[in-house]
Amino acid sequence: MIYTIISIISFSAFLNLIHITKLFTEDVLLSAIFGGIVTGVGGAIILRAGGSNGGIGCRQNCRQV
């Protein structure tokens, strides 16, 4: 449960930081690919640590307990 709370707070904070930063490229496709990779890696780290990001992973973690 504590990992889930930390995940939700840090995910929200990093979304705000990313929104403030300057664009590295004007290419929309490249930005979408990079964003997908970063989000996927972050989600994998959260799930491997036993937490969830507040979505369907909560239900999955409850089933495992």
At 64 the pLDDT is: 59
Please state the φ and ψ torsions of residue 5, each to the nearest 5 degrees. -65, -45
Stretch 40-56: mean pLDDT: 77
Could you report the per-residue pLDDT of 20-39, keeping only the tens digit for each?
666 667 788 888 898 899 88
DSSP string, 29-55: HHHHHHHHHHHHHHHHHHHHTT---SS
Domain residues of the chain, as ranges? 2-64
> Which band of pLDDT confidence, cut at 50, 70 and 90, is reported for residue 61?
low
